[in-house]
Amino acid sequence: MSGYFGAGTRAPESELEIIMSDMPSCQFESRPRRIVIGSGGVQADFCTNCSVRPTSVCSVIEPSDISRLAEVAVETIISPGRGFIEEGAPATDFFNVTSGTVKLFKALPDGRRQITGFAAPGHFLGLAVSDSYAFGAEAIDTVRVCRFSREKMSELLDDFPKLERRLLEEASNELVAAQNQMLLLGRKTARERVASFLLDQMQAGLLPGQPPPSGGRLHLPMTRGDIADYLGLTIETVSRTLSWMRSQGMIEVGKGYAITIVSTAKLEVLAAGNS
């Protein structure tokens, strides 16, 4: 029991780093290649102007203390498909997503994969952690994160008790979501799962800094394969279920990643478990 925000090992990093998707395929590196631009933490006004601060854990830091936050945050850009947390690797850093979408997952030795969640802007990564990461993380589209070393995070927690309570709140929310997902995975049918997913995505789109999805128009950044791995289904079943929902007048499936929710009511009936 070494403490959840104990000593870290990584040295202080520089202002802006970019993790490139430069490998032929999506090979994983536990310590991704970085391109450093500038040095010495983000600019003092960076956090002040941050678009996700109002909805993120950082919101509990008073404006007068913002410089403390900016000192320890390292902004990082991660290109699509690039992994930046490896399941089982030593947990040296925590992250806060500022733009883009991240998929979080666990895998079995033979390659079966379960996506445990999608992290949108404002989401804090690193709660499900002991000494090593309990999950992997990969950028779906271009992602920006603020990175905090474990030791800097620990200092912040010592100095700002409110931050700790806010993280507890965040953990609480994640636990509620996790339990909902267990119910979905253990007891819901394929149709119920997809309906629940679409409603959740709609709900999620209403809250953060993202452009609000008007008229039920969703832009899902993830592939069918990701949705399948999230819902415990196969690609084919997700595809068939979406087609069936279209045939029932519940949704419209646009080209690419667009899905329009036509009848929230019908989906809610489905998601609640009536068929």
Residues lying near its own copies in the complex (CB under 8 A): 1, 3-5, 106-110, 112-114, 116, 127-130, 134-135, 157, 161, 164-165, 167-169, 171-176, 178-183, 185-188, 229, 231-232, 272-274
- Asked if 237 interacts with DNA (CB under 7 A), we say yes
Q: What is d(CA 247, CA 263) in angstroms, rounded to the nearest whole number?
A: 12
Shortest Cβ 274–its own copies spacing (Å): 7
CA dist 156 and 74 (Å) reads: 14
* Residue 229: CB minimum distance to its own copies, A: 8
Bridge partners, residue 102, by sequence:
119, 139
Residue 114: strand pairing partners: 106
Nearest distance from C-beta of residue 94 to its own copies, angstroms: 12
Q: Is 48 in the site for DNA (CB under 7 A)?
A: no
Nearest-angstrom CA–CA distance, 154 and 10? 13
Among 66, 191, 201, 229, binds DNA (CB under 7 A): 191
- In DSSP terms, 218 is beta-bridged to 259
Give 59's contacts (C-beta < 8 A, 6+ positions apart): 53, 166
Q: Does residue 217 interact with DNA by CB under 7 A? A: no
Which residues, numbered 244-263, are part of the site for DNA (CB under 7 A)?
A: 253, 255, 257
Task: Please give the structure tokens belonging to residue 133.
Answer: 């990461």
Q: Where are the beta strands (DSSP E) in 33-101?
A: 35-37, 74-78, 83-85, 93-99
Spatial distance between the Cα atoms of 165 and 177, rounded to a whole number of angstroms: 19
Phi then psi for residue 18, to 5 deg, are: -125, 125
Binding status of residue 127 toward DNA by CB under 7 A: no
Binds DNA (CB under 7 A): choice among 97, 156, 233, 251: 233
**If binding is defined by CB under 7 A, does position 18 make contact with DNA?**
no
Candidate segments 12-20, 89-97, 101-109, 230-238, binder of DNA by CB under 7 A: 230-238
Residue with Cβ nearer its own copies (46 or 94): 94
Query: Nearest distance from residue 34's CB to its own copies, in Å?
Result: 27
Figure out which of the listed residues 18, 107, 128, 190 binds DNA, where binding follows CB under 7 A.
190
SS3 35: strand
d(CA 244, CA 236): 12
Q: Taking CB under 7 A as the rule, does residue 218 contact DNA?
A: no
CB of 46 or CB of 133, closer to its own copies:
133
Return the sign of the alpha-carbon dihedral for residues 148, 149, 152, 153. Answer: positive
Q: Which is nearer to its own copies, 153 or 242 (CB)?
A: 153
d(CA 202, CA 124): 20
Q: Which is nearer to its own copies, 44 or 272 (CB)?
A: 272
CB 78 → DNA: shortest distance, Å?
A: 16
Could you list the residues that contact DNA (CB under 7 A)? 25, 189-191, 223-225, 232-240, 242-243, 253, 255, 257
